[in-house]
Amino acid sequence: MLKEAAVRVIAEQFHRRVLYPLLTSGQAKKDREVAHERILGLMEKYIENNQPLRKFLTQCFTYEDPVLEQEIFGLKFKQPCMVAAGFDKNARVYQSLTSLGLPPDIGTIPRWPYAGTPKPRVFMLEGDQGMINRMGYPSDGLHEIEKRLAKKYTPRNLRDFNIHLNFGVNQPSFDRGAPLFDLALTYNDIYGLGDILTLAVSPNTPDSLGLLEPENLSEALERISNIRKSKKEWKPLLLKLIPDLTFAQIDKILDVALSHGVDGMVLTNTTTDPNTRMLLKGMYKDETGGYSGPYLKSKSLVAIHYVYTHTEGKFPICAAGGLNTPLDAFEAVVYGGASWLQFYYAVVTRKTSTPNFSYDMCQSLAKELRTHGFKNITEAVGAYAK
Ligand SMILES: Cc1cc2nc3c(=O)[nH]c(=O)nc-3n(C[C@H](O)[C@H](O)[C@H](O)COP(=O)(O)O)c2cc1C
């Protein structure tokens, strides 16, 4: 215990004083993607394939407490924190991230390799305002990612974490005129390599938003559910939405999703709402793309709460969007009705970026749950949502 605590103190100092400045110096200062590539490269080189080190990191950086344990879809979760989709797009570092207490939503995985939109396309806003990105699902593509996942795959009974795979369609599928075929093929090919699969649409691939039109969504989900029926093992399917939908649109999506056996939702992706943009100041505030960060929290929370109450709490929800503090996390669970918590901006911003992110977040959340008299997180989910 003492040894692990000492490691956390040293890691925190090392990260703040050495690693973070190194990762964000030179070219990386100007381009967030360079910084991102540096951290992925380091994890890939030193942690990803080093099983004893990953085991040690798990002991040090994963906070375990019975109050945070839950079972959803028959799968056990030791704690609710994750890193949101887009961080480990190509399944390069998911084992490393898991050992740091942040299992990622891997992807988004599209069928085709794609360089994405021209760079620069990821912008860090001044202060603590958040970030804007318009990456458009760049990817190594299904073929490469599938190989990578298969190489690392450990059967469910031999690991104590879940593999979350996030899939979708990027521009090449629309250019080739077969987005639904590509989507179904991707789902089919990754099915055996993950435990929970999430279909995501992105504001940065505008054509993909068409998938949320009831007719298109119905056709996509029909294909997906036929594939699922053909498999030996049942696996939960989630749908990740954008926050810029009216309640009437969410109602229609929910109708289609429920009638096609969707099991839950990830709420939400980034926003393009001009009202959120109005709050931004300084350089990059007018860059096109989706905004994520603190000002997204209330929009996401409204969507989470709406879906939770309209499905009477029977539809597990993963919160993403503007979660930065333990109180944000508590709010999403108790008032919104979220069972899991995904973070993107908070894990890459200078203020909170540290190997202890998940440990600290989980420890504070556990304390908050106990202070409010909850015996466990399951009891807390949606407790004040009514
Ligand atoms: C640079 C970047 C890339 C992202 N890529 C994806 C992606 O590939 N798929 C996806 O579903 N969401 C993607 N997202 C959205 C995040 O998963 C998350 O939903 C969003 O950032 C809101 O969370 P936050 O406010 O904690 O950042 C991306 C976000 C950022 C900032």
Tens-binned pLDDT, residue by residue, of the chain (386 aa): 788 999 999 999 988 888 888 888 888 777 889 989 999 999 999 999 999 999 999 999 999 999 999 999 999 999 999 999 999 999 999 999 999 999 999 999 999 999 999 999 999 998 889 999 999 899 999 999 999 999 999 999 899 999 999 999 999 999 999 999 999 999 999 999 999 999 998 888 778 788 888 999 999 999 999 999 999 999 999 999 999 999 999 999 999 999 999 999 999 999 999 999 999 998 899 999 999 999 999 999 999 999 999 999 989 999 999 999 999 999 999 999 999 999 999 998 877 678 999 999 999 999 999 999 999 999 999 999 97
Hey, whose CA ends up nearest to atom 23 of ligand 1? 321
* Peptide bond preceding 108 in cis form (omega within 30 of 0): yes
Under 8 Å between Cβ of 96 and 106: no
CA 199 – ligand 1 centroid, Å: 14
- Give the C-alpha distances (Å, rounded to integers) separating 320 from 17, 27, 133, 346: 29, 29, 16, 11
- Give the C-alpha distances (Å, rounded to integers) separating 93 from 46, 105, 152: 10, 11, 10
Q: Is the CB of 294 under 6 A from ligand 1?
A: no
H or E segment at 98?
helix 94-99
Is 191 inside any structural domain? Answer: yes
Is 66 inside any structural domain? Answer: yes
Task: Give the 3-state secondary structure of residue 133.
Answer: strand
Hey, whose CA ends up nearest to atom 6 of ligand 1? 86
d(CA 350, CA 10): 17
CA 184 – ligand 1 centroid, Å: 22
Is 164 inside any structural domain? Answer: yes
Q: Is the CB of 346 under 6 A from ligand 1?
A: yes
Q: Is the CB of 24 under 6 A from ligand 1?
A: no
CA 50 – ligand 1 centroid, Å: 28
Q: Is the CB of 108 under 6 A from ligand 1?
A: yes
CA 370 – ligand 1 centroid, Å: 30
Is 18 inside any structural domain? Answer: no
Q: Domain with 116 in it: what CATH number?
A: 3.20.20.70
Cβ neighbours of residue 232 closer than 8 Å, sequence gap 6 or more: none
Is 41 inside any structural domain? Answer: no
- Which residue among 122, 145, 269, 349 is best mutated to probe the pocket of ligand 1, counting the most ligand atoms within 8 A of its Cβ? 269
Q: Is the CB of 344 under 6 A from ligand 1?
A: yes
Cβ neighbours of residue 27 closer than 8 Å, sequence gap 6 or more: 34
Give CA angle at 105 (139, 115), nearest 5°: 10
Quote the number of domains for the chain.
1
User: Per DSSP, what are the bridge partners of residue 71?
Assistant: 76
Residue with tokens 């989910």: 381
Q: Which DSSP string corresponds to 294-344?
A: GGGHHHHHHHHHHHHHHTTT-S-EEEESS--SHHHHHHIIIII--SEEEES
Q: Is the CB of 296 under 6 A from ligand 1?
A: yes
d(CA 246, CA 269): 15
Range of the domain at 223: 62-380
Q: Is the CB of 84 under 6 A from ligand 1?
A: yes
Is 314 inside any structural domain? Answer: yes
Q: Is the CB of 104 under 6 A from ligand 1?
A: no
CA 373 – ligand 1 centroid, Å: 33
Is 365 inside any structural domain? Answer: yes
User: Is the alpha carbon torsion for 59, 61, 66, 70 positive or negative?
Assistant: negative
- Picking from 190, 187, 111, 99, the residue whose alpha carbon sits closest to that of residue 149 is 190
Q: Is the CB of 47 under 6 A from ligand 1?
A: no
Q: Which atom of ligand 1 is nearest to the CA of 320?
A: 23
- Residue 365's pLDDT is 98
Hey, what's the torsion of the CAs at 56, 354, 81, 45, to 10 degrees? -50
Give CA angle at 144 (111, 82), nearest 5°: 80
Is 12 inside any structural domain? Answer: no
